[in-house]
Structure 1
Amino acid sequence: MRIYITSVFVDDQERALAFYTDVLGFQKKVDVPIGERDRWLTVVSPHDPDGVELLLEPSHHPAVAPYREALVSDGIPLTSFEVDDVQAEFERLRGLGVRFTQEPLAMGPVTTAVLDDTCGNLIQIATRH
Structure 2
Amino acid sequence: MKGIVTVNHKHKKVNISFKKGILTFPMVEKALLNVKRYLDKNYQILVEGYFAGKRYSREIKAFLFALEILGQKEKIIFVDKACYRKSERKKIRAKVEKLYEKGKKVRELSKRFKIPEKTIYRWIKKSKS
Query: Which structure has greater helix proportion?
Result: 2
Higher RCO by CA contacts (8 Å cutoff, separation 6 or greater): 1
Which bracket does the TM-score occupy, shorter chain normalised? under 0.3
Normalised by the length of structure 1, the TM-score is 0.27
Normalised by the length of structure 2, the TM-score is 0.27
State the structure with more CA Rg: 2
